[in-house]
Structure 1
Amino acid sequence: MASLSSIAWMRFFCAVGVFIALGSEASLLRIHTDYVVDDGPTPLVLWHGMGDTCCANGIANLQKVIRNNISGIFVHSVEIGTTEDEDKDNSYFLQVNKQIDQVCKNLSQIPELQNGYNAVGLSQGGQFLRAVAQRCPNPPIKNLITLGGQHQGVSAFPNCPGTKAVCRYIRELLDLGAYTSFVQQRLVQAQYWHDPLKEDEYRKKSTFLADINNELTRNEVYKENLQKLRNFVMVKFLNDTVVIPQESEWFGFYCPGQEKTICSLQDSTLYQEDWLGLKAMNEAGKVKFLTAPGEHIQFTTEWFLDTIAAPYLH
């Protein structure tokens, strides 16, 4: 692996800055108050996406919708850090495995969650909560819902605003630097960067995604824990231009060795050899493939209540 010059590193982090500016996620939510659960709802844990926050400046509207429409529900929104600014910064720069360890510890200490909880992850919060399910089964997640989660990672710079030459240059920097130890330890998005033309390097050097997908070694505990879910719900946004390829939101990805043809989850070796138990779960009706109209993490309250809350947040 060639090393980057200091100028190249500066350019790399400038590229990351553009990535950050483009990636801030917010949901389009309208208050709707006629959906109520009367028989003691299961507690809920939320984990926001890249560039978002847990609370007032982030997904507070989503929390409000849930509390207004599910009577008596306990909602915990994951916060990484002690302030919203720190939470936002950590969505870019705190090593993912450290985040998972912290969240697992925090959830184990919340009394309301000890009998189990449902979990909703927005964007990268989706694969992060899946890691919680696989690594930390106590307290247990009952239903895991991922909204636009990148379960097979991303392989391209989203919404690149520049010329083809500029966008190609940014991609080249990511190709060169994403799997270096320096970047893997410091840039969250590099830890689920999945280059379909460098599968061996990805599997060996990805510090997060390749591990939770059981792609380098087969961790049977991960497989056993994931299968404890009642339902694993994956939502793909039909007009998503942020997640590339968008099929990653359904655990699909490029077929091996190229970056044009998409293979579905069911076509993958991961599924056929059942590295994570997803084949067994799907055959048992526990894996749900849902869609939402619109751009990445853009949805209405009515869609959320009808499609997610009514069937799964109870």
Structure 2
Amino acid sequence: MSKWLVILFSIKYILADPTPIVLWHGMGDTCCVDFSLGSFKIFLEKEIPGVYVLSLQIGNSTIEDFENGYFMHPNKQIQHVCKLLANDPKLSDGFNAIGFSQGAQFLRGLVQRCGHKLPAIKSLISLGGQHQGVYGLPHCGALQHASCDYVRKMLNYAAYYSWVQESLVQATYWHDPLDEDVYKKQSQFLADINNEREINKTYIENLNRLNKLVLVKFESDSIVQPRETEWFGFYAPGQAKVLQSLEQSDLYVQDRLGLKKMEESGKLVFLSTPGDHLQFPQDWFVEKILQPYLV
């Protein structure tokens, strides 16, 4: 009898639909056009036949989606996406999620804030996410025009003004190591999801429900400063030269997000790849991410 149960279970597993995948793009990108995440969606559908891939569009058009990557507060974006995913019947049995650049920390915020309201989020893949924030914006990737200069100037001089926090997405994960107290008090997004002000146990519980949190760092990243933030590292407090790893930070030592527990249980995965921001070979992605965590 047990032999037949094993056979039936194996057949059911083989015939089961692939786990759906949710994508959240980064700054200067959009959900669906060919030169942005549209092509990556097609790539995933080719590599995993039958998979449902939802590339998140924040707004009523790709133009709005592009603009909202700069000007729609992450808290509002996460609230919107939480409702969207909860009402998608194709995700009812759970899904994997891939975040690109700032989309990675937004997905983490989604997991922490409303993971208990959603179907099971199995693996969260962070591609170049800025989990300890950024301190510097050398250039804006896909966007090379006046808006880029506007973003730089506002962050350098007024990141923690309340009206800047409310109107400029990148200000909400600007992390000034020279003034940690102001950052913790005034950051409207990152300081909250990193439990910098107080410990939100729901954030810890929801994050630890993940099967895997995969953090990918780009070794020659010229956009994210410092690139160590992609592994939860950052500048040691009080200066902007000496870096510290996740394991050296209060976030880890005090286990303010449960990351220490996740690492000890094998849920926290660190990967790196040569190349600039979000530049990776398809075969590397298939071997290191798709096969172990998405198939």
Task: Say if 2:127 and 2:217, in contact at 8 Å, map to a contact too.
Answer: yes
Look up the match of 2:98: 120
Compute the displacement of 1:39 (Å): 4.8
Q: Partner of 1:191 in structure 2?
A: 172
Q: Tell me which of 60, 67, 70 is aligned to 2:48.
A: 70
Letter aligned with residue 276 of structure 1: L
Partner deviation per Cα, 1:69-121 (whole Å, 9 max, x = no partner): 10111110111001000000000000110000000000000001112110000
Indicate the SS of the match to 1:146: strand
| Residues 295-304 or 43-52, more deviating | 295-304
Unaligned runs of 5+ in 2: 1-13, 141-150
Q: What is the CA–CA distance in structure 1 between the aligned matches of 2:285 and 2:56, rounded to whole Å? A: 19
Matched, 1:40 2:21: no
Task: Report 1:1-314 matches (<5 A).
Answer: 39-57=16-34, 58-137=36-115, 138-159=118-139, 174-314=155-295
Conservation of the 8 A alpha-carbon contact between 1:175 and 1:195: no
Which whole-Å CA distance do the structure 2 matches of 1:50 and 1:159 have between them? 11
Find the aligned partners of 2:54 and 2:96 in 1 and give their Cα distance. 10
TM-score, length basis structure 2: 0.88
**Cα distance, 1:292 vs structure 2:** 1.4
Equivalent pair of 1:45/1:118 in contact (CA under 8 Å)? yes
* Deviation, structure 1 residue 306: 1.2
Once residues 261 and 194 of structure 1 are traced to their aligned partners in structure 2, the CA distance between those partners, rounded to angstroms, is: 15
Cα RMSD over matched residues? 1.8
Q: Distance in 2 between matches of 1:51 and 1:172?
A: 17
Match of 1:136, SS state, is: helix
Task: Give ranges in structure 1 of 5+ residues lacking alignment.
Answer: 1-36, 161-169
How many residue pairs get matched? Answer: 271
Q: Which has the higher contact order (CA 8 A, sep 6+)?
A: 1
- Would the aligned equivalents of 1:133 and 1:140 in 2 still touch at CA under 8 Å? no
8 Å Cα contact 1:38/1:71 also seen in 2: no
Q: What's the CA shift string for 1:249-300, capped at 9, x where partnerless?
A: 0000001111111110000111011100000000011100000110000112
Query: In structure 2, how many angstroms separate the alpha carbons of the residues matched to 1:293 and 1:262?
Result: 20
Distance in 1, Cα, partners of 2:169 & 2:19: 30
Q: What residue is the counterpart of 1:6 in the other structure? A: none
Give the % identical residues.
54
The question of whether the paired residues in 2 share the 8 Å contact of 1:236 and 1:247 is answered with yes
Q: CA deviation at 1:159?
A: 3.7
The CA distance in 1 between the partners of 2:242 and 2:79, in whole Å, is: 36
Which TM-score applies when normalising by structure 1?
A: 0.83
Contact preservation (8 Å) 1:47, 1:129: yes
* Structure 1 runs (4+) greater than 3 angstroms displaced: 170-173
Is this contact kept in 1: 2:154–2:164, CA < 8 A? no
Shift of 1:173: 5.2
| Shift of residue 140, structure 1, vs aligned partner | 2.3
Q: 2: distance between equivalents of 1:148 and 1:90?
A: 19
Give the residue type in structure 2 aligned to 1:123.
S
Per-residue deviation, residues 133-175 of structure 1 (Å, max 9, x unmatched): 1011112210000000000000012249xxxxxxxxx977534
* Amino acid aligned to 1:102: H
